[in-house]
Amino acid sequence: MIKSYISKIFASIVKKKIDRWAKAPIDTQQKVFQSLIAQAKNTAFGRDHHFEEIKTYEDFVARVPIRDYEALRPYIDRVVEGEKDVLWKGKPLYFAKTSGTTSGAKYIPITKASMPFHIQAARDAILCYIHETKKADFVEGKMIFLQGSPILGEKNGIKTGRLSGIVAHYVPAYLQRNRMPSYKTNCIEDWETKVEAIVTETFSKNMTLISGIPSWVLMYFERLYTRSGIKIGKLFPNFNLFIYGGVNYEPYRQQFEHLIGRKVDSIELYPASEGFFAYQDSQTEKGMLLLLNSGIFYEFVEADTFFSDAPKRVALQDVQLGVNYVLIISTNAGLWGYNIGDTVQFTSLAPYRIVVTGRIKHFISAFGEHVIGKEVEEAMREGLEATGARITEFTVAPQVNPVGGLPYHEWFVEFEQKPTDMKRFAQVIDEALQKQNMYYYDLIQGKVLQPLKITEVPEGGFASYMKSQGKLGGQNKIQRLANDRSVVERLVKS
């Protein structure tokens, strides 16, 4: 039990360091801002945008516009081609390769300055949990991280791969003996083959911590249950901590607890190729702690105004609770005024905690309702809770031109256990959505829309769709909602 004892001491030390910057948030962000500008002023980007003249945040806003990947791409392409001192000093250590919807492969730089924070943040999230709960026995058992292959490619002398595959090379030495799956298994590219190999490797182990995107961990649990016929909580009696990120856990919670057979603690993370932005630092407070001391300077734009001609950018000190913001970042990996596409809301301003509410391009507003991811996930949670149903996955799209009757929102749902009353299930979800979104409420009450309709997706339908798109497993996730029917049309065909 020596690891458990040492981890509690280490957790106390790290928590004190976290508290120091969390209690001085504006000063912390100002220091990060000044450091970023100073270190990048002699880069090509810094010279082009007159970083030597930037003294204040207002100066920065005046000189550096908001850009997405496509807008920043002329600079990134120069980095990919091997040029140094373009966006950040020198060359990146890695490119995190992601699949873009419009631009093909995207290469997100990870630098010597930014890499340590990807590792430190995940570690600190676990240490915050240990410090708060005093639970540390899990460090003595086996831990699994469902992730992409650690095999890296190369682009002009710079290693490339999925973020989770890159991070796999940085697992601390003191965790190597506990870590699963084996390197050989982790290198398997085909996700279904990989999951079966992981099931075989872990079947008889003392698994205590399991981590991954909920939808893919669910697949792992289902395969374990199919092979053993035993609930996961009995198969792994010491499994008591689930760590996840990428998507909201709530729509999957009931199915998880059904397969596990009991409740387990969980920690939510908010990592991305562009940076590690937040983690759940408390089991009792809502939201994730925004990481203000990690080489990232944050800006925010109200989502409702983002597509206007001159959306207002605000720094941390001017944010408000409950407002849906587009997250804008400038980082020590060389991303400047960068729109990662996510939207967030603050749940606390002391300390600054956030929840992820969706994607700025992923919403339904075919009729002016502007329904976002957070709202459909909360509505689904209420529907499942009220009816005892369990789901594997779901997505939502508008039906603008139905064969008969008024338009509606169509929810495509793959059930693990169907509700006994499908009409009641749909009604609870629709009422929950009306309660959260006044525009949707007005459209339903005004008879512009009819209440939502449920379309059942056959077992394995979402997995087949993701496989057909080359996105089965790893960090890939289902698009929760769209303003057109492009996703659901491909889903139905797969």
Q: Is 149 exposed, middle or buried (0-12, 13-18, 19+ CB in 10 A)?
A: middle
pLDDT confidence of residue 101: 45
pLDDT for the residue numbered 352: 98
pLDDT tier, 25 (very low <50, low <70, confident <90, very high otherwise): very high
Q: Is 335 helix (H, G, I), strand (E, B) or coil?
A: coil
Flag whether pLDDT at 359 surpasses 80.
Answer: yes
State the Cα–Cα distance between residues 332 and 336, nearest whole angstrom: 9
Q: Can you give the C-alpha Rg of the chain in angstroms?
A: 23
In terms of C-beta density within 10 A (0-12 exposed, 13-18 middle, 19 or more buried), how is residue 212 classed? Answer: buried
Span 358-381, average pLDDT: 90
DSSP state of 109: E
| CA angle, 264 then 221 then 263, to 5° | 15
State the pLDDT at residue 275: 96
Pairwise CA distance, residues 337 & 393, whole Å: 34
In whole angstroms, what is the distance from residue 132 CA to residue 409 CA? 42
For the entire predicted model, the pTM comes to 0.88
pLDDT of 70: 93
For residue 58, CA distances in Å to 33, 54, 236, 406 come to 12, 8, 54, 48
C-alpha torsion angle, residues 238, 240, 243, 244 (rounded to 10): 110
Q: 393 with 462: CB under 8 angstroms?
A: yes
Bridge partners (DSSP) of residue 330 are 297
| Tens-place pLDDT, residues 176-192 | 778 899 889 999 988 88
pLDDT of 410 above 90: yes
Tokens of 357: 């509410």
Q: Which of 162, 206, 207 is nearest to 187 (CA)?
A: 162
Could you report the per-residue pLDDT of 291-325, keeping only the tens digit for each?
999 999 999 999 989 988 889 999 999 999 999 99
- pLDDT (0 to 100) of residue 132: 97
Which pLDDT does position 102 carry in this prediction?
45
Query: Can you tell me the distance from the alpha carbon of 449 to that of 426, in angstroms, rounded to the nearest whole number?
Result: 15
Q: Is there a contact between 375 and 201 (Cβ–Cβ < 8 Å)?
A: no
Q: Report the share of the chain in percent with pLDDT over 70.
A: 98
Strand 158-161 with 94-99, pairing: parallel
Distance of alpha carbon 470 from alpha carbon 487, whole angstroms: 14
Considering only residues 172 and 428, tell me which one the structure prediction assigns the higher pLDDT: 428
Instruction: Let me know: does 297 contact 331? Beta carbons within 8 Å.
Output: yes
Phi, psi at 348, each rounded to 5°: -155, 145
How far is it, in rounded angstroms, from Cα 419 to Cα 433? 19
Position 174 scores a pLDDT of 67
Pair of tokens at residue 440? 């949707």
Is 195 within 8 Å of 181 (Cβ atoms)?
no
- Structural tokens at position 320: 């408000």
| Nearest-angstrom CA–CA distance, 92 and 59 | 27
Q: What is the pLDDT of residues 421-458, one digit of tens each?
A: 999 999 999 999 999 999 899 999 989 999 999 999 99
Which tens digit of pLDDT belongs to each residue from 90-136? 999 999 988 654 456 889 999 999 999 999 999 999 999 999 999 99
Whether the CA torsion 161, 162, 167, 168 is positive or negative: it is negative
Beta-strand relationship, 105-110 and 94-99: antiparallel
